[in-house]
Amino acid sequence: MLQGGLRGALNQSVLEASGPQAAKVERLWWIAFTTAAIVYVLTMGALWFAARRARRRELRGELLDETAAEPRMTRAVTWGTAATLVILLLFLGADLLVGRTLSPIPKKQPLTIEVTGHQWWWEVAYADTSPHGRFTTANEIHVPVGEPVLLVLEAQDVIHSIWVPNLAGKKDLIPGYTQSLWFQADTAGLYRGQCAEFCGLQHAKMALQVVAEPRTKYEEWAAGQQKPAQNATDPVASRGREVFLTGTCVMCHAIEGTSAGSHVGPDLTHLASRRTIAAGTLPNTRGALAGWIVDPQRIKPGVHMPPNQLKPQDLDALLTYLQTLK
């Protein structure tokens, strides 16, 4: 599924932090894990010790002196409860502390990206202030390495939650309410994220990828994304463009540089530059595209894209056209 110049696997782990935000979350995880491990070992040790003592007493034929044991037991339970409370309060404190240090937005004007959750895909808009202006893509967020990135989060329909574990903690996307989240990727690579709040039937197939790359590569990518789609010159591709623009596709999709301007579904201006389609569900290959366009309901049942009955030549031309949208 991996294409392009990036080496290595698709990372998705809380325990391999690749930035300052995720590092804090990872540290918190280790504190909780270590504490829980110590408590577990102590509890099991005490249980083993008590069982052995009771068994020995039984073998010696002694009876437990209830009245002498009672205050001892009360003391043990009281101390146990107090220790539990203290540990839980310490957890709460550590949690709040990490939460506080995560939220302040860095002073340096960060790259701002608007992410809107839809059932079941991510709309990604770069609020670029350069002369070429903003551009929109889907399910793939490119960021420069080592720089803070601010995500401005919104939702179109229901509550979603963005979670790229290597880079940051979770944050909900709530309809009618703007939230923000910042992170910084310190290592170039490909990071997988997914929706972390149940949002309907295809919640499980709502993934995204963060592509962290050196500044120059990022700028190259952004410059490409800002351009409108190139006019198809190849006759088959031109035919495919016709199929797209005269069919139902324009009701839901936009391709900059053509008359298609709807934003119900993902912007397709640079579809061919993306690694996956349908929010990480399929690799972006000709075959997968064909399967998706003909019957998206088979791939993501309930998805808000209808099946398309296309003549074989029309489908073929349409695929050729879509693959020119680099």
Exactly one of 88, 264, 287, 297 binds ligand HEC (CB under 6 A); that residue is 264
What does the buried/exposed string (b/e) look like for 162-182 if buried means 16 or more CB atoms within 10 Å of the residue's CB? Answer: bbbbbbbbebbbbeeeeeebb
Q: Does 120 bind ligand HEC (CB under 6 A)?
A: yes
Q: Is 315 one of the binding residues for ligand HEC (CB under 6 A)?
A: no
What count of other Cβ atoms lies within 10 Å of the Cβ of residue 16? 14
The binding track of 143-182 with respect to Cu ion, each residue x by CB under 5 A or -, is -----------------x----------------------
189/146 Cα distance (integer angstroms): 12
Least Å distance between CB 199 and ligand HEC? 11
| Nearer residue to Cu ion within complex by CB, 172 or 186 | 172
User: C-beta of 139: minimal distance to ligand HEC in Å?
Assistant: 6
Q: Which is nearer to ligand HEC, 142 or 300 (CB)?
A: 300
Q: How far is the CB of 164 from Cu ion (least distance, A)?
A: 14
Distance (Å, whole) CA 266 – CA 205: 15
Q: Is 134 exposed, middle or buried (0-12, 13-18, 19+ CB in 10 A)?
A: middle
Least distance from C-beta 119 to Cu ion, angstroms? 7
Nearer to ligand HEC, 22 or 232 (CB): 232
Total of residues contacting Cu ion (CB under 5 A): 4
Between 197 and 213, name the residue whose CB sits nearer to Cu ion: 197
| Helix, strand, coil tally for the chain in percent (to 5) | 40, 20, 35
* 199 touches Cu ion (CB under 5 A): yes
Cβ proximity of 150 and 104 under 8 Å: no
CA–CA separation, 53 and 228 (whole Å): 79
Q: What are phi and psi of 65, to 5 degrees?
A: -85, 100
Q: What is the secondary structure of 214-256 as a DSSP string? A: -HHHHHHHHHHHHSPPPPP-SHHHHHHHHHHHHSGGGGT-B-T
Nearer to Cu ion, 206 or 305 (CB): 206
Binding of residue 17 to ligand HEC (CB under 6 A): no
Contact between 94 and ligand HEC per CB under 6 A: no
| Binding at 199: pick from ligand HEC, Cu ion, none (beta carbon under 5-8 Å per type) | Cu ion
CA dihedral over 108, 144, 269, 130, signed as positive or negative: positive
Q: Which stretch binds ligand HEC (CB under 6 A): 1-9, 61-69, 124-132, 297-305?
A: 297-305
Stretch near ligand HEC under the rule CB under 6 A, chosen from 38-46, 176-184, 212-220, 298-306: 298-306
Q: What is the CA radius of gyration of the chain?
A: 27
Number of Cβ atoms within 10 Å of the Cβ of 208 = 24
Is 183 exposed, middle or buried (CB count within 10 Å of its CB: 0-12, 13-18, 19+)? buried
Using CB under 6 A, list all residues that contact ligand HEC. Answer: 120-121, 138-139, 244, 247-249, 251-253, 264-266, 268, 271, 274, 277-279, 289, 292-293, 300, 303-306, 308, 318
Using CB under 5 A, list all residues that contact Cu ion. Answer: 160, 195, 199, 206
